[in-house]
A = this chain, B = another copy of it.
Amino acid sequence: MSLPRQMHLGVFILGAGHHIAGWRMPGAEAGSENLDLIVRVARKAEEGKFDLLFLADAVNTRPDMHPSMVLRLEPLTLLAALSMVTRNIGLAATASTTYTEPYNLARYLGSIDHMSGGRCGWNIVTGAFAEAAANFGRDKHPEHDERYAIAAEFVQVAKALWDSCEDGIWQLDQAAGRFIDAAKMHTPDFKGRYFSSKGPLNMSRMPQGYPVMIQAGASEAGRDLAGQIAEIVYAVHQDMAVAQAFSADLKQRAAAFGRSPDHIKIMPGVSAIIGGTEAEAKAKLATLGECADPVVALRVLAERLGHDLGGYDLDGPVPDLPPSGIMRGHAETLQALAKKENLTLRQLRNVVAATMGHRLIVGTPEQVADGLQEWFEAGAADGFNIMPPWFPGAFDDFVDQVVPILQKRGLFRREYTASTLRGHLGLPRPEWGG
């Protein structure tokens, strides 16, 4: 008898918490540069047998961004550090295809995979914030569709570089003086429209072949790229029917590219506020709401919708603005929610303050487990990217109180059965040259 289908869990580590006021909760630590906190969170996630931890990124800042995003450790070096203090959990981070060089990024990710024994994941982003361009001496951020064309080619050149060496290149025959098998080193000589890289990459093939590919684009171009290459898809959903349709669409696109629908895992973001009773959980949410900085919250909403909101009445309806294309998934989900629940701008601002638009479950551990199980069993998700409103307490509660319920229900592993991220996700190791 085979096991029932298992849920996948990731923790989205955002230093000062996902709720905009999370850092103000009792016991919260504002850890976007607090390595000690992040190490404790990573170990807690591993104690909870999570598939992976995930670090987001941006290459720009300003003082009035979401607190977790103002100042932070750089994610790739942070993943490398975390590889030394964890043993099993997958280690994923965002890295932009618009503002990095393929040869360099291929090395960073490859090294992390080598050092962690096959636990690296790469969230491929095209760069959400237009302000980034000026940090890289560019006149402007490329347009949406061009950014996706660049991303698709970037992945191609990275894969070509990662395949510079066949498996088994190391010989290390001291007596014969045979160091490597030179016949197993190849020169990709990649020439594309946006990138050229001759190679070879100066690294042997990584344990996972390629890092696990993660993608989150909700636009047509984003979904197309995800169908082609993504192995995990992050998504912003409030509505189960929409999430079901999204999942079905992505799996169909993967199949159209000749891939198994099982090899693309849909993991929407979920924030859980957990209390001993539903009332206690709701009280926590109320406290968070009272502590949230309204100016920052409105700015975060404006970023998500892609429009300046300065001129609108906070107690009027949410203005019906077209998705700007920069964070389209967020914009569409938030607009749909506002329409469905007839929200004022102030109410939508408070939703964004809590989860940046992601699903929020407020209740007892059982209620949170129910909320995850429902979506999982309905085919709206293969797992969840857990976005704790603050660290470490709110995440500790999830691991200590929700995970055991999921385990008892047979929905989630009690022990690791693999030591690579591909292993946790049931993904094959890509063939060389694949």
Question: Which residues on the B side are within 8 Å of A63 (C-beta)?
Answer: 180, 182, 185
Return A293 CB to nearest CB of chain B, in Å.
6
Complex partner residue of A202 from B72, B83, B100, B112, CB under 8 angstroms: B72
Q: Does A203 contact B (CB under 8 A)?
A: yes
Complex partner residue of A179 from B67, B76, B112, B203, CB under 8 angstroms: B67
Return A91 CB to nearest CB of chain B, in Å.
11
**By the criterion CB–CB under 8 Å, are B99 and A104 in contact?**
yes
Q: Does A370 contact B (CB under 8 A)?
A: no
Q: Does A427 contact B (CB under 8 A)?
A: no
Question: Which residues on the B side are within 8 Å of A70 (C-beta)?
Answer: 179-180, 202
**By the criterion CB–CB under 8 Å, are B58 and A202 in contact?**
yes
A136 and B103 contact, Cβ closer than 8 Å, known pairs A63-B182, A67-B179, A71-B180? yes
Question: Which residues on the B side are within 8 Å of A67 (C-beta)?
Answer: 179
Give 1 or 0 for each of A194-208: 1 = CB within 8 Å of chain B CB.
Answer: 011111111110000
**By the criterion CB–CB under 8 Å, are B111 and A200 in contact?**
no
Question: CB-nearest residue of chain B relative to A85?
Answer: B84
Question: CB-nearest residue of chain B relative to A291?
Answer: B177
**By the criterion CB–CB under 8 Å, are A196 and B108 in contact?**
no
Q: Does A381 contact B (CB under 8 A)?
A: no
Return A292 CB to nearest CB of chain B, in Å.
9
Complex partner residue of A77 from B77, B103, B201, CB under 8 angstroms: B77
Enumerate A78-117 residues with CB–CB distance to B below 8 Å: 78-81, 83-85, 99-101, 103-104, 107-108, 110-112, 114-115
Provide the bound-state CA to CA distance between A12 and B336, in Å: 58
Enumerate A125-156 residues with CB–CB distance to B below 8 Å: 131, 134-137
Provide the bound-state CA to CA distance between A169 and B71, in Å: 10
* Chain A interface (Cβ < 8 Å from any Cβ of B): 16, 21, 23-25, 28, 30, 33, 35, 58-64, 67, 69-74, 76-81, 83-85, 99-101, 103-104, 107-108, 110-112, 114-115, 131, 134-137, 165, 169-170, 172, 174, 177, 179-180, 182, 185, 195-204, 291, 293
Can you list 15 residue pairs at the A/B interface with Cβ under 8 Å? A23-B174, A25-B174, A33-B114, A33-B203, A33-B204, A58-B202, A59-B107, A62-B185, A70-B202, A73-B114, A77-B80, A78-B80, A99-B101, A100-B101, A104-B104
Identify the 6 closest CB pairs spanning chains A and B, nearest first.
Answer: A61-B202, A63-B182, A134-B198, A137-B196, A80-B80, A77-B80
